[in-house]
Amino acid sequence: MFLTISTTGNPERPATDLGFLLHKHPEKAQTYSTSHGTAHVFYPEASAERCTAALLLEVDPVALVRKGKGKGKGKGRSGAPDAALAQYVNDRPYAASSLLSVAMSTVFKSALSGTCRAMPERAEATLPLRIEVPALPARGGAELVRGLFGPLGWSRVDAVAVPLDERFPEWGDSRYVRLVLEGELRLADALRQLYVLLPVLDDAKHYWVAPDEVDKLLRAGEGWLADHPEQKLITSRYLARRWGLTRQAMERLELVRLAESDDLDVESVDNAVDETTDTEERPVPLAEQRRTAILAALDGAGASRVLDLGCGQGQLVQALLKDVRFTEIVGVDVSMRALTVASRRLKLDRMGERQAARVTLQQGSLTYTDKRLKGYDAAVLSEVIEHLDLPRLPALEYAVFGSARPRTVLVTTPNVEYNVRWETLPAGHVRHGDHRFEWTRAEFRDWAGQVARRHGYGVEFVPVGPDDPEVGPPTQMAVFTMTAADEKEKEAKAA
């Protein structure tokens, strides 16, 4: 199994920088053992003008068969009971299949994540790339290969079916395609595309598809999968047609798309309104007033281990970090892009060890139960529920109040009655393009009351921002506190 990655350069920007970006020295051939065989990385050419890195995976067919059998649930061809000989005589050694993708994730781990300590700015930038995969098993043929790589920013996508035997064209084509990609892309983006699309085209995964494959897919698909016209085919094939996982991935991609389309501009309308108020001093933006109210409520609850669910760009996480009372802070969001912005804001990579130990950012969807979220003092959902479609709200309710069950839960959401005071907001509009609903005070109280009853919490309401005598405050906050009986039960369970 074989692929090459080439780039061109000049004396100022030598092509051999590719070695830094791949974390593999151009003058050395290197060997890695992966779970399915031995991977070699070497450079057939390495000059300032042109540099080519080759990845070759020598598959150990016997190990492959053993693996398939040992697990007992491998879905690969090699596991078929009637294929005794085929297990040992197959195309694996030559074809660039899903196994090559697994090898890439081992050998090019840092390059896939887009990090390069030696040349961070080069890793961020695009470079002229040429990628060649001489034998790509492609179920769906050259046309599908073009359909998958076509929308991804390459200036040339050349996919040609390899004939079964060149001497006998009448035999037709094999199931292999010779693929050449050329274009100006970030190396990490190109590698992530291959990492996902090689197994998608191979369509025969050789390892068990675990639920964390959804996370892997979303991570590798960051920046290109959410808008891909073949998203459904990619997702379902990548996840070996496991429908439950596929649906979960599609749903999360939809959220990513929405979160990204609104350009992370949650605070703009809030702030626009503050400019219309009539004070001499700089008005305090509503988002800041919200954070102040949240910090006060957390303080009142005596919370020190806190979840920020739907943390967005991490403004609240940042405020929590400034207060030593909060010993453990976990920010969760479905949008990788938001988390990337958050981690830059917090300067996570430059943070001292003790500070860093207090904070974690993790990707996840709040409409799925998540064991990692159990056992915290408090959870904050600041301006998050209105981003979910109403029919998904019960799932979030269960994940937070039924499964994670922190002692205190704070939920803030816009009060739609206040919208008439928003001079910049056209009548009948919600405050933000991605809001699926905005509630009146009565509607919010009704929902919160039911949630509290169903899950053993008490609930109180706190206005945030100027509490208008007619229409109430711009933001409404519910403070849920687990009732004593439930807390005892929780302690008993923990003991």
Q: Counting contacts by CB under 6 A, is residue 383 touching ligand SAH?
A: yes
Q: Which of 4, 7, 34, 382 binds ligand SAH (CB under 6 A)?
A: 382
| Number of other CB atoms surrounding residue 453 within 10 Å | 11
Q: Give the per-residue SS3 of 249-298.
A: HHHHHHHHHHHHHCCCCCCHHHHHHHHHCCCCCCCCCHHHHHHHHHHHHH
Q: Give the per-residue contact string, 255-294, with ligand SAH (x = CB under 6 A; - = no).
A: x---x------x----------------------------
- Cβ proximity of 308 and 329 under 8 Å: yes
Which segment (37-45, 88-96, 114-122, 384-392) binds ligand SAH by CB under 6 A? Answer: 384-392
* 475/409 Cα distance (integer angstroms): 16
Q: How far is the CB of 403 from ligand SAH (least distance, A)?
A: 14
Which segment (53-61, 97-105, 331-339, 345-353) binds ligand SAH by CB under 6 A? Answer: 331-339
Task: Measure CA of the first residue to CA of the last residue in the chain; give whole Å.
Answer: 53
Q: How far is the CB of 302 from ligand SAH (least distance, A)?
A: 22
Rg of the chain in Å (alpha carbons): 27
Q: How far is the CB of 211 from ligand SAH (least distance, A)?
A: 16
Q: Counting contacts by CB under 6 A, is residue 452 touching ligand SAH?
A: no
- Cβ proximity of 448 and 389 under 8 Å: no
Comparison of 175 and 431: residue with beta carbon closer to ligand SAH:
431
Which segment (22-30, 167-175, 378-386, 450-458) binds ligand SAH by CB under 6 A? Answer: 378-386
Q: Counting contacts by CB under 6 A, is residue 404 touching ligand SAH?
A: no
Q: How far is the CB of 306 from ligand SAH (least distance, A)?
A: 13
Q: Counting contacts by CB under 6 A, is residue 190 touching ligand SAH?
A: no
Q: Counting contacts by CB under 6 A, is residue 338 touching ligand SAH?
A: yes
- Cβ proximity of 200 and 233 under 8 Å: yes
Q: Which of 18, 22, 107, 334 binds ligand SAH (CB under 6 A)?
A: 334
Q: Counting contacts by CB under 6 A, is residue 387 touching ligand SAH?
A: yes
Q: Which of 37, 68, 312, 474 binds ligand SAH (CB under 6 A)?
A: 312
Cα 252 off chain centre by: 9
Q: Which amino acid is at 417?
A: E
Comparison of 189 and 267: residue with beta carbon closer to ligand SAH:
267
Q: Which residues contact 112 (CB under 8 A, 6 or more apart)?
A: 104, 105, 188, 191, 192, 195, 220
Comparison of 136 and 266: residue with beta carbon closer to ligand SAH:
266
Q: Counting contacts by CB under 6 A, is residue 365 touching ligand SAH?
A: yes
Comparison of 42 and 368: residue with beta carbon closer to ligand SAH:
368
Nearest to 316 by CA among 408, 383, 369: 383
Q: Which of 311, 320, 329, 409 binds ligand SAH (CB under 6 A)?
A: 311
* φ, ψ at 4 (rounded to 5°): -125, 150
Q: What is the DSSP string of 311-355?
A: -TTSHHHHHHHTSTT--EEEEEES-HHHHHHHHHHHTGGG--HHH
Provide the binding-site residues for ligand SAH, judged by CB under 6 A.
255, 259, 266, 310-312, 315, 333-335, 338, 365-367, 382-384, 387-388
